[in-house]
Amino acid sequence: MTSASQEHETRVVDAAPKKLYINGQWRDARGGRVLNVHDPSTGSVLCTVADASPEDGRDALEAAQAAQKDFAAMPPRKRAAILMRAFELMHERQDDLAMLMTLEMGKPLAEAAGEVAYAAEFFRHFAEEATRISGGYQTAPAGNARFVVRKEPVGPSLLITPWNFPLAMGTRKIGPAIAAGCTSVLKPAELTPLSMLALAQVLEDAGAPPGVVNIVVTSSAGQVMEPLIRSGIARKLSFTGSTAVGKKLLEQCADKVLRTSMELGGNAAFVVFEDADLDQAVEGAMLAKMRNSGEACTAANRMFIHRSVIHEFSEKLAQRMGQLKVGRGVDEGVQVGPMVDATQRDKVKELVDDAVGAGAKVVVGGETGPGEGYFYQPTVLRDVPREARMWTEEIFGPVAPLTPFDAETEVVDLVNDTEYGLVNYVYTNDLTRALRVAENIESGMVGLNQGVVSNPAAPFGGVKESGLGREGGDTGIDEFLETKYIGIAM
């Protein structure tokens, strides 16, 4: 007999759009190519989806170009209404969107439902921002002219998103693009196209005009996107993904001097001082480490714990990590799903084996499994030597490496000893120290006594090789706006 959950799985996969969304139409790829979408909890194929060629990409960008002028002229209130309707529809469809995301990406259903709500919030936030785009009127210092300053949409934009937050990384870009009056072509990750195609359906149902948002799924990311970046039609690239790919894309963007927003990799430190509330710190560590099973750019990658409390902290953390239920994200009570694919799972295993080989001690976990899917057990490692690869490489999995520190200056240097600068977390009950450390560490974001910083109303982004620009907050929309100054003789 099929369970209610199995029926739900089958229904959402059957109902999911599986074609490219170009110029308001659902269509097959030219040449008819398709790609397989897998369930990472079993390794089995869920369905096939149209696999775009470079010609399909070109069609999508030309559709965006054709729609740009009218869309820029659409009253902000109407653009806001599209986003608000899309926000409402995402909530109405939350269960189905969450199921689809869990099936293609692996995260537990409750987390997927949380991501749907988080992703929808970007639409509400930018619906509100759309009507507040402002400018200026100023007297020239010599008094002989007036300056009028206005904001205009950048123009057709290319948006590229990763697999780890299949919806939220998309709405964080589509939201401000629509609010600013930019049309776009979005390429989701090959591993998780279904969530983005379902979002295209949401936007169509919310009244987004043809060509305003185009979705191109492809197994040939470079071949499809590079010609678009170099086309001279696109005016902007907003990318979320790895630093290595981001650097390559920045080079391509130089060709036509595109505006760029780059949300790249992270290597977050999680610092616990001796005066911290240890239970609160453990709670925060669980969030900072285990949100999205560690597959997050914001995931705590290096845990520096004051020597006087590291034993107690590691015992408490290991106890919590060891209790987590690992399994298929669709199953009742599961808290940790599989890694997104075998490559990701093997990378986590490789980094743990490397650390253990260098002398780290496994407090809990340290193994793959269970079952057929790409699972890795929640793991706590102690005494991880500084030469271990996981201090410099993103783990992107449920592994918490701990090492002791003695002094504040020492730990600030350790935190900053990385080319990344996305987010760092600091736990202390000394207010002056908290502010001093927050000011001295090099990252775009700091979590003080909290393990999650993401919020659509706050500016998200990194410094150093973690990226350029900010998404969300009151500046996120600026990434899609140009400033025009009109000088008027008086």
What positions carry a catalytic annotation?
263, 297
Choose between 240 and 403: whose C-beta lies nearer to ligand NAP.
Answer: 240
Q: Which residues, 120 to 139, sit near ligand NAP by CB under 6 A?
A: none
The tokens for 425 are 């977390």
Q: Which residues are within 8 A (CB) of 108 and not within 5 positions of it... i.e. 6 or more apart?
A: 102, 329, 334, 335, 336, 337
248 contributes a contact to ligand NAP by CB under 6 A: yes
DSSP label of 373: S
Choose between 187 and 302: whose C-beta lies nearer to ligand NAP.
Answer: 187
- How far apart, in whole angstroms, are the C-alpha atoms of residue 172 and residue 261? 12
Segment interacting with ligand NAP (CB under 6 A) among 75-83, 189-197, 384-392, 481-489: 189-197
For the CB of residue 49, give the shortest distance to ligand NAP in the complex, in Å: 12
**φ, ψ at 205 (rounded to 5°):** -65, -25
- How far apart, in whole angstroms, are the C-alpha atoms of residue 242 and residue 225? 16
Segment interacting with ligand NAP (CB under 6 A) among 55-63, 199-207, 261-269, 345-353: 261-269
- Identity at 231, one-letter amino acid code: S
**φ, ψ at 425 (rounded to 5°):** -120, 135
Query: Is 176:254 a contact under the CB 8 Å cutoff?
Result: no
Q: Which residues, 201 to 240, sit near ligand NAP by CB under 6 A?
A: 221-222, 225, 240
Query: Is 188:167 a contact under the CB 8 Å cutoff?
Result: no
DSSP bridge pairs for 364: 380
Query: Is 365:399 a contact under the CB 8 Å cutoff?
Result: yes
**Per-residue contact string for residues 77-116; x = within reach of ligand NAP by CB under 6 A:** ----------------------------------------
- How far apart, in whole angstroms, are the C-alpha atoms of residue 116 and residue 108? 12
Please name the helix (run of DSSP H) or strand (run of DSSP E) that holds residue 153, with its range, or none: strand 145-153
31 contributes a contact to ligand NAP by CB under 6 A: no
The tokens for 418 are 């990385």
Choose between 190 and 442: whose C-beta lies nearer to ligand NAP.
Answer: 190
178 contributes a contact to ligand NAP by CB under 6 A: no
Choose between 178 and 249: whose C-beta lies nearer to ligand NAP.
Answer: 249
The tokens for 267 are 């290597």
- How far apart, in whole angstroms, are the C-alpha atoms of residue 81 and residue 149? 26
Q: Which residues, 269 to 298, sit near ligand NAP by CB under 6 A?
A: 297
For the CB of residue 295, give the shortest distance to ligand NAP in the complex, in Å: 8
Which residue sits closest to ligand NAP, CB atoms considered? Answer: 241
CA 193 vs. chain centroid, Å, equals 14
422 contributes a contact to ligand NAP by CB under 6 A: yes
Choose between 241 and 476: whose C-beta lies nearer to ligand NAP.
Answer: 241
Give the residue, chosen from 126, 163, 313, 391, that forms a contact with ligand NAP under the rule CB under 6 A.
Answer: 163
Give the residue, chosen from 65, 102, 157, 164, that forms a contact with ligand NAP under the rule CB under 6 A.
Answer: 164
Residues that bind ligand NAP in the complex, under the rule CB under 6 A: 160-164, 169, 187, 189-191, 221-222, 225, 240-242, 245, 248-249, 263-266, 297, 394, 422, 462, 467
